[in-house]
Structure 1
Amino acid sequence: MRLVGDEDVIAGPFRVALAAARCVGEVTEAAAELLRQRGTEPGPVTVDVRHAVESFRSEQHLRVDGEVPGDLWAPLTGDYRAADGWVRVHCNYPHHEAAVKAVLGEDVAAGAAVRSAEDVVEAVIDAGGAASWLRAPEEWAAHPQGRAVAAEPLVAVERIADAPARPLPRADRPLAGVRVLELTHVLAGPVCGRTLAAHGADVLHIGAAHLPTMWPAVVDTSFGKRTAHLDLRTDPARDRLRELLADADVMVQSFRADSLAAKGFGPVDLPPGAVLVTLNAYGHTGPWRTRRGFDSLLQLATGIAYRGDGAKPVPLPVQALDHAAGWLAALGTIQALHRRATEGGTWHVRVSLARTALWLDSLGRVDSTDSPDPVDAYLSEMDSPLGSVRHIRIPGGLPGAPPRWGHGPRVPGSDEPTW
């Protein structure tokens, strides 16, 4: 793998550019190996560092018919000073906003100011919302959840049951013919599916009309996928999903731990030879494994946004934890498919935002600034049912099978739930 360009292209101090380039490079290398296994010479893998970085803020470049497709952040989502520190509340979903208002009142800033940070966060979570408070990195490292996450691998690829080997036939794309069932929301999980689609997978995203969404993120992460709706609160929908899963190679899911398993779609429910990919916020072990979490909340909780006692949180310049976790999940998926092809087995891939934050922190620090150069070289226009969509192309140089999306984003739920 050859990196092109340097990492002084996005504001520091964290090495976001290096993280993006490594994620893209590792996935592209894994795709190259799978392509070689399928009888096509991949050619030398390259990664344009600037292109990788811009893909990590792809939602910022998205335009539909020349317009920004809505706000990514709700008005009340943000950082608030508590009596002894800083908290962040997530209000992008109506039920999360309702939980925050139920705890803090209509004037969220005033409500937070008179309570401790821990009290605010725990009360919001108990009310069904999502929040976190700002910690120093050493505080997170000493926390029971921080210790649990530190003991987890960055990308877990675990064989959980026996099954015959399933070699992939000859093909001219790494994931041609691979069926991916995607049950994800927001960013990390959809980025994983978007990446797999770019390497040739047949990705079917399953959502539901009653579930809230963040529209700009939906549009940005839907390239190359089909999209269907199933209301898993009903028996017929669950039966249909089981039928889809029976014929799938991979299921990617990013809902809270145990929520899909409670509906009959956990690791023990996989058909032999399937690959389950699970993305989680706070880790797959420890007391917070079922806690609601989003990239911006994890940046506070893990100390990524910490700049000293009393200082306001400073976020990363991009949603790097989400994007990196999505690419790492795609890496684990390709690795599991390779191992299934050569040694058989049923596999479980696990990635978390919290462990991704620890990895980013381990890369060290830089003093860099945003590049002033235009990004036009990485942009394309694509027609879609939503309009003409400007987007960042998928990064990663693979001469034998350049990654690409076969179509633009579609209207959510507009496809049939079928392969």
Structure 2
Amino acid sequence: MTPELALDHIWTLAGCERAALRSVHFTGSEPALPSVFRVGALACATIAATGLAAAEYHRLRTGRGQPVSVDMRRALASFRSERYLRIDGGPPPALRDPVTGFYETRDGRWIQLHTNFAHHLAGVLKVLGCENDRAAVASAIRGWDGAALDQTLADAGLCAALIRTPQEWTALDQAKAIARLPLFEIERIGDAPPELATRHASPSVNAGSRPLSGVRVLDLSRIIAGPVGGRALAQHGAEVLMINGPHLPNIAPLVIDNGRGKRSAVLDLRDAAGRETLRGLTRDADVFLQAYRPGALAARGFGPDDAARLRPGIVYVSVCAYGYEGPWASRRGFDSLVQSASGIAATEQRAAASAEPRHLPCQALDHATGYLAAFGAMAALARRATEGGSWHVKVSLAQTGRWLQSFGEIPDGWQAPELTLDDVRDCLETVQSGFGRVQAVQPAEQLDGTPAFLALPPAPIGTHEAKWV
């Protein structure tokens, strides 16, 4: 699978005009990171789709097209943006709890724990009946059979995944449900008149304006996939307001990396006043991006149909881990867990003859799904411009992972050299922020007429009021 073919699949699946593909140019080749999977093609294609969608939306508004280019090294730097983040010239920020990782079980299987949130760690330790110590956790897990522990932790609402081969994964009902789904879905969920420049744009949109000027985005997501989608919209000019709950955990470096270009507010949706404020924000939004488990926001009155009633013409974007159908639809999950469950970690282990499972060299499912979310939002905005309507975009890490696995493998790709911080220094920029001096990866897509950039530095959670500028 080449970046060109992957982009063609994304673009045609969304029903976009194929003639636009001629304006995209790729550089670089694989393997560009140590992996047998074609993560370079995935990065290039999803980032290019986002850039091209921005260029095409700008063309709808101004009548002027522009070339788009993506270099594989820069795309992969974006896919590893959290690894290259530096604050005040300090060391790489810690992203993982020490207990997170792979463990061997009594029956010779492997299981992965994900304990980066304190309540997930506490729940795992309670199930295992051990202390918060990696050696104690390993000892406790050796008293369990892998499948039994995997199910027990899932039933407790905790985050873990049995390491499965691709064959074991495809035999599961969840994999069969995913196999019936396309890479993403863009469906019309309500009627509304056509709307191009949005209610919030300047009456005069000239060739120098940004593609998404005047587009308002509510970003109700955390960690990587959803926030990357919101960040990608911000780097093409959208006004993105990030909404966090006061009780919801976060990972500080990811708040910084993925909060660039956004304003940050706090609302408590458990409270009637918080819900009413969010309803008011939704009435003036263009895009509602959320990464809660399927059904969770609908229970608070903010499902896609609720949003379409509040704001006819809304583009509602849903991001989840394991997809929207099947027995695992409500299971908690993260990128690394989907890799473990679906055979990706086992494939990397087999290819490298490793003693234990191996993940991809980047959070590729997270980042690709985030860019697909941004692409879907812009494709839906373009449909709203030409035919009207309210729209629902659905993406998931598992659907993205299945697509990556379909690309085929690169023989000995795991032997490729690492992409170090020194290798990507020309991809970085430095900004002053409420966190200090932040060094982070610049947008990878190059648009000749409307360059992608992040106009705002990252802000600590709750810095701003919950209102539009």
TM-score (norm 2): 0.87
Q: Specify the alignment match of 1:194 in structure 2.
A: 231
Task: Point out 4+ residue stretches in structure 1 off by more than 3 angstroms.
Answer: 307-311
Q: Which residue does 1:206 correspond to in 2?
A: 243
> What amino acid maps onto 2:114 in structure 1?
H
Give the aligned partner of residue 20 of structure 1: 43
What amino acid is the match of 1:348? H
1:159–1:347 CA contact under 8 A, matched in 2: yes
Instruction: Flag the 1:52–1:94 CA change in 2: closer, same or farther, 3 A.
Output: same
Cα-to-partner distance string for 1:145-191 (whole Å, 9 max, x where unaligned): 00101111112101111111112263521111000001001110000
Give the alignment partner of residue 370 of structure 1, picking from 410, 414, 417: 417
Match of 2:129 among 94, 105, 110: 105
Contact 2:31/2:38 (8 A) holds in 1: no
Shift in Å at residue 408 of structure 1? 1.1
The C-alpha deviation readout for 1:281-302, integer Å capped at 9, x for no partner, is: 0011111100000011111100
Distance in 1, matches of 2:418 and 2:397, equals: 26
Alignment of 1:296-375 (within 5 A): 296-306=336-346, 307-308=349-350, 312-366=356-410, 367-368=412-413, 369-370=416-417, 374-375=423-424
Tell me the amino acid that sits aligned with residue 86 of structure 1: W
Aligned amino acid, residue 278 of structure 1? S
Q: Measure, in 2, the Cα distance between the counterparts of 1:70 and 1:182.
A: 24
CA contact (8 A) 2:84 2:92 kept: no
* Partner amino acid, structure 1, of 2:88: D
2:92 is equivalent to residue 63 of structure 1: no
* Corresponding residue number in structure 1 for 2:268: 231
Q: State the Cα deviation string for residues 44-93 of structure 1 (Å, max 9, x = none).
A: 11111100011000001101111246310001111111123111111111
Q: CA deviation at 1:334?
A: 0.5
Instruction: Tell me the CA shift for residue 371 of structure 1.
Output: 5.3
- What is the match of residue 194 of structure 2? 165
In structure 2, what is the Cα distance between the partners aligned to 1:310 and 1:285?
34
Distance in 2 (CA, whole Å) between partners of 1:252 and 1:322 is 15
Query: What SS does the corresponding residue of 2:423 show, helix, strand or coil?
Result: coil
Does the CA contact (< 8 Å) of 1:224 and 1:407 recur in 2? yes
2:21 — aligned with what? none
Q: 1:43, CA displacement in angstroms?
A: 1.9
Partner of 1:79: 102
CA distance in 2, matches of 1:141, 1:252: 30
Residue 243 of structure 1 aligns with an amino acid whose one-letter code is G
The alignment covers a number of residue pairs equal to 419
1:396 partner amino acid: E
Q: Equivalent residue of 2:451, what SS?
A: coil
Question: Is the contact between residue 42 and residue 398 of structure 1 (CA under 8 Å) also seen in structure 2?
Answer: no
2:212 maps to which of 163, 175, 181: 175
1:278 aligned counterpart, secondary structure: strand
Structure 1 pair 143/32, CA: closer, same or farther in 2 (3 Å)? same
Structure 1 pair 297/371, CA: closer, same or farther in 2 (3 Å)? closer
Q: Which residue of 1 aligns with 2:159?
A: 130
Hey, what's the Cα distance between the residues in 1 that align with 2:157 and 2:37? 32
- The residue correspondences of 1:231-310 to structure 2 (distance < 5 A) are 231-270=268-307, 271-306=311-346, 307-308=349-350
Q: 3-state DSSP class of the match of 1:305?
A: helix
SS in 1 for 2:186: strand
Q: Deviation at 1:99?
A: 1.0
Deviations 1:303-360 (Å, cap 9, x if unpaired)? 0001359952111000101001000111100100000110011100000000100111
Give distance in 1, aligned partners of 2:256 and 2:434.
11
The structure with the largest helix share of the pair is 2
Shift of 1:209: 2.4
Higher alpha-carbon deviation: 325-334 or 124-133: 124-133
- What is the distance in 1 between the residues matched to 2:66 and 2:284? 32
Distance 1:54 1:114, change over 3 A: same
Q: Which runs of 5+ in 2 are unaligned?
A: 1-23, 131-135, 199-204
What are structure 1's unaligned runs of at least 5 residues?
Answer: none
Q: 2:52 aligns with which of 16, 29, 49?
A: 29
1:145 maps onto 2:174 in alignment: yes
- The correspondence for 2:428, drawn from 373, 379, 382, is 379
Partner residue in 1 for 2:8:
none
Looking at structure 2, the residues matched to 179 and 69 of structure 1 have their Cα atoms a distance apart, in angstroms, of 33
| Cα displacement (A) at 1:114 | 1.7
Q: Assess, with a 3 A threshold, how the Cα gap between structure 1 residues 173 and 235 changes in structure 2: closer, same or farther.
A: same
What displacement does 1:29 show?
1.1
Give the structure 1 partner of residue 13 of structure 2. Answer: none
- How well do the aligned residues superpose, as a CA RMSD in angstroms? 1.5
Give the fraction of aligned pairs with identical amino acids, expressed as a percent: 46
Cross-structure match for 2:34: 11
Q: Which amino acid aligns with 2:158?
A: G
Query: CA shift at 1:243, angstroms?
Result: 0.4
Contact 1:100 1:108 in 2 (8 A): no
